[in-house]
Amino acid sequence: MFEEYKKIDDLENAYEIELKRIDREIQNLNDLKYHLRRENEQSYDAFLYLKNKMNYSEESNAKVRRLVEEFDYEADSYIRKKELKLEDYKEEIRREYIQQSEKIMEAK
């Protein structure tokens, strides 16, 4: 990714920009996780309200709770997988940055 840079300043700038981009993506994933969890809680609260008003059974309560928990688990798994990929990518670009910076230093 960094092979095109021949000056250490340009390389450092490109590396910092890429790190910031990755950090923004990780923050977006954290925001998504928060919003999904909040929506799940609101949906479950709405169900509990209806359960009390409409006398839904405990069986329906268990089903809805299970669905909410399954969705939470799936969303967390998906987000965690994306976070791990981003962390791996961050490590990969760190290695590439070090490698290219060593090449630049050797060329001097």
- pLDDT reading at 76 higher than 80: yes
Q: Assign 107 a pLDDT band (cuts: 50, 70, 90).
A: confident
Residue 54 is classified by DSSP as H
Dihedral, 49, 54, 60, 62 alpha carbons, nearest 10? 30
* Structural domain harbouring 49: 8-107
- What's the domain count of the chain? 1
Digit-coded pLDDT (tens) for 77-93: 999 999 999 999 999 99
Q: Please answer whether residues 79 and 32 qualify as being in contact, where contact means their C-beta atoms are separated by less than 8 angstroms.
A: yes
Q: Is residue 39 part of a domain?
A: yes
Digit-coded pLDDT (tens) for 20-66: 999 999 999 999 999 999 999 999 999 999 999 999 999 999 999 99
Q: Is residue 97 part of a domain?
A: yes
- pLDDT reading at 108 higher than 80: no
Q: Which residue has the tokens 């309560």?
A: 61
74 CB-contact burial (10 Å; exposed 0-12 / middle 13-18 / buried 19+): exposed
Q: Is residue 1 part of a domain?
A: no
